[in-house]
Every structure is written in structure tokens, then in C-alpha cells.
């Protein structure tokens, strides 16, 4: 659930192949009162760039196998996945999972 009343600024960096779904923006700064975790940041992205959520997540609201998401360098699969809490100034990197090979 999104916390309210806390203004967050989160930087999202997308690999080139994923940036294509966001009008080729490789760096997107999300500023919102409603960003509390990865799920909410993806929701915010999808409002701005409809369709990106279906690239990053499955219909079951899980991170797609083909995608890795990092918060300040840590793979969120080893944290709380889409429920990983974000705090002011966090850096979110989203890359194809194959890049980790």
C-alpha cells in the first residue's frame, strides 16, 4: 500500500531496450506523494507510459522473469520483490535479466 503525505523523489534508470517503451527516456525521475515501493513506482511509470507495466510485471503481479530490478544496486528479488520499500533519493535500475549472465 502506498503511504501518503510523504513526498518522494525516485530516479528510475532503464536499459535502452526497455526505455523504448517509455518514449526512449532512459532516466525518469518520479516525484509523488504516493510512491512507497517498487509496485507503486511501476504504477506511476505506467500512468505516464501506458504498457510498461506489462513488460516489467506478470499478470500475477510478479516481476517478469526476463527483468531484473535493482534498488541502489540490490536485486529486489532478494529483498521484498515488488513490495520493496523505497525511500527518498533511491535509485532504481531496471535491466533485462539476461544482462546478469
Partner 1 sequence: MIIDRPQSHFIFILPRAHVYGNYNYINYKGKELTNNEYLKYWGKWVFLGTRQELDKLAKKIDPLVDQKIIPGAKYDRQEIPEFQIGECVMCVFCDVRQRDEIWDILASLGVEDKAWVFEKETMENWLPGGQLLEKWIEAKGITPEQAESVRKDAEERFKKMFEDKDAVFRGIDQ
Give the interface with partner 1 as residue ranges (CB under 8 A).
13, 15-17, 65-66, 68, 70, 72-75, 91, 93, 95-101
Q: How far apart are CA 4 and CA 86, in angstroms?
A: 13
- Of 2 and 64, which has the nearer Cβ to partner 1? 64
- Of 34 and 93, which has the nearer Cβ to partner 1? 93
Rounded alpha-carbon distances, angstroms, from residue 33 to 1, 5, 6, 16: 12, 6, 5, 28
Kindly state the smallest distance separating residue 22's Cβ from partner 1, in Å: 14
Pick the closest to residue 52 from 93, 72, 23 (CA basis).
Answer: 23
- Of 1 and 65, which has the nearer Cβ to partner 1? 65
Kindly state the smallest distance separating residue 93's Cβ from partner 1, in Å: 5
Q: How far apart are CA 63 and CA 38, in angstroms?
A: 10
Amino acid at each position: 500500500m502506498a503511504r501518503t503525505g510523504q513526498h518522494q523523489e525516485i530516479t528510475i534508470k532503464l536499459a535502452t531496450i526497455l526505455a523504448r517503451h517509455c518514449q526512449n527516456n532512459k532516466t525518469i525521475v518520479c516525484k509523488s506523494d504516493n510512491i512507497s515501493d517498487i509496485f507503486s513506482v511501476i504504477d506511476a511509470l505506467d500512468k505516464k507510459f501506458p504498457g510498461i507495466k506489462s513488460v516489467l510485471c506478470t499478470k500475477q503481479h510478479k516481476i517478469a522473469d526476463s527483468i531484473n530490478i535493482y534498488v541502489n544496486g540490490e536485486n529486489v528479488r532478494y529483498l521484498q520483490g515488488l513490495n520493496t520499500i523505497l525511500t527518498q533519493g533511491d535509485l532504481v535500475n531496471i535491466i533485462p535479466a539476461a544482462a546478469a549472465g
